[in-house]
Amino acid sequence: MLHDGLYEQAINKGLDSELASADKLSQTAPIDTAEASRVLAKYVAEVVERGLDNLRDNGGDLNAQVALANQIITTIQAETKEADFDSLSVAERAEQLLALFDRQNSIWASSVRGSSIVKTTMSEYSVTSRPISGRFSFSRPPAEPVSVISFPSLVFTRNGRIFRKASGVCA
């Protein structure tokens, strides 16, 4: 069911049929050719994420998800005829790069040298090894600060003497 509001999304076949049968006014516009790659990539990313989730929910493991992702990349490579896309396929080990440090000048790397969690590789500069930049549409907002509640000091008497209890802090 369509709700009133402002939209900026690609019209897929399902949405197109809903718009045709809805008793509402709609405003549409062709996808701007200058923004087409961004608009379509955002839409395809949502579809791919749903497909990968569906694959997982139906018993597929991580290897099946990697295989599907690589099939999509292979299709893009075949359509664009760009050999560079082959290097963008997900490696079979299915890992994420979380950090990268200079071997010689990193305090972190030297403090854990020999640890099995540190893996370093040397690679040439290419499109696939550029740092991530920009804001992702699925990124989370910063975490909320922890609230601190202070209770006032308690005063009570016992046999005519005044006692003070230190204030408590709950986090």
Per-residue pLDDT of the chain (171 residues; tens, 9 = 90+): 788 998 889 999 999 999 999 889 999 999 999 999 999 999 999 999 999 999 999 999 999 999 999 999 999 999 999 888 889 999 989 999 998 877 777 666 555 555 545 555 555 555 555 555 555 555 566 666 666 555 555 555 555 555 555 555 544
pLDDT at site 99: 84
pLDDT at site 27: 92
| CA separation for the pair 137, 76 (Å, rounded) | 22
3-state SS class at 164 = strand
| CA separation for the pair 3, 24 (Å, rounded) | 10
pLDDT at site 29: 94
Question: Residue length, the chain?
Answer: 171
Indicate yes or no: pTM above 0.85: no
| CA separation for the pair 104, 149 (Å, rounded) | 46
pLDDT at site 75: 93
DSSP conformation class of 150: E
State the sign of the Cα–Cα–Cα–Cα dihedral 107, 108, 112, 114. Answer: negative
Q: Which long-range contacts (CB under 8 A, 24 or more apart) does 28-33 make?
A: none
Tokens of 141: 């907002």
pLDDT at site 103: 75
Residue type, position 59, single letter: G
